[in-house]
Chain A
Amino acid sequence: MKQNLRKSTSSTDAAGGIVVQSDDGAVRFQLRSTRWGLWVQRERRTAPQRARLVQSVVFTDPIGFSRWCEADSVRFDYPIVFSTLRRAGSALLEAHERAASSESSSSLR
């Protein structure tokens, strides 16, 4: 069975966020936990149209993030990148929710 095993690299950016990108440079994600939620910047180069699309979005809940991930063709084109993105993004969102919940409990006291 032919598998797409394009490699990915993970690192941190200058602001302490997570960077996940393919080795061929065609797709790159930056993730960071912010006070509004999980900020993600997705960058993809499309060879046929010679275009680079960059989208910046904040996810406030895991369902929205999961739904977005499932709709992304990167899931099939770069499965390792996708897997790392999902894992890292979910972890950051969980941490954000815990922090928000903790803050909410503190303010009620």
Chain B
Amino acid sequence: MQVPKAADASEVTALLAEAASMIGADAAAFASFVHDDEAYASYRFILACDANWCLAYESGACYMHDPWLEYARHHAEPVLADSVPVRTESERSVVSLAQEFGFASALIVPAHSPQGLTRLGALCFGSAQAGYFTTDELPAVGYATTALAMRLHEWQIAQLRRELLDHARLSGEDMVLLQHQRLGHGSKQIATALHTTAMSVDSRWQRLNAKLGVSTRLAAAKLAAEYGLI
């Protein structure tokens, strides 16, 4: 199943619903996480399930104790939700909430980003019927759904990239600066490469940091990397 890069959010939501239907799931959700900036972390959900679940999830700050999201953070293999360790009462509440809203049996499919980045994606298919997803079909279903999870993740990153570019109005010069920082270059090295002075580079950094809403060039480069700009 393809996720066209130019698809808008409503099309992708419809695609997710179609994918759920194809594997006989009652519900599906794609969750992604990225550090917005130094202050905020973003949790984004594309829902093909009872949307009231997500309201309750937010209300209970479940993203702080979600064992399924935590699994996706550290693993790349699809897994049955029943196999994910649930260690605390808070984590149990998060799982119970999901079970109430159509995820009595669930399949968790992580979508990973390049090493060194905190952003992650997790596709979750659910059935209101306990035990619906089984270990026997996990290899085949896991294989098929991993590709979809990666495509959804790529689409989501492309959306974030577009958002950041629209919001910050970054120039070509800004992108060059960010690339240099990602390579670990200091002001003097950047100045030499750009045929300018270190003071000019520092001034450009101040303006760029203000555009991105961060306090340091390190944070600026990290944000740009998380959003897939560099």
Contacts and interface: CB of A to CB of B under 8 A. Distances in A.
Contacts of A58: 10, 13-14, 17
A54 B43 contact: yes
Contacts, number: 79
- Chain A: number of interface residues, binned into ranges: 20 to 34
B59 A68 contact: no
Nearest to B47: A57
A86 interface: no
Interface string A51-64: 11111111100001
Contacts of A36: 10, 13-14
Interface in A42-94: 44-46, 48-59, 64, 67-68, 71-73
Given A46-B58, A55-B47, A58-B14, 16 more contacts: A32-B10, A36-B14, A44-B58, A49-B64, A50-B40, A50-B41, A51-B40, A51-B42, A52-B40, A52-B43, A53-B43, A55-B54, A56-B9, A56-B13, A67-B52, A73-B55
A39 B41 contact: no
Contacts of B13: 36, 39, 56-58
A15 interface: yes
**In terms of DSSP, what is the predominant structure of the interface of chain A?**
strand
Given A54-B45, A56-B45, A67-B52, A45 B9 contact: no
Interface residues of B, number: 28
Contacts of B44: 53-56
A57 B51 contact: yes
A85 to B, nearest CB: 13
Contact of B10 (A39, A49, A64, A71): A39
Contact of A52 (B8, B36, B47): B36
Contacts of A71: 52, 55-56
B9 A39 contact: yes
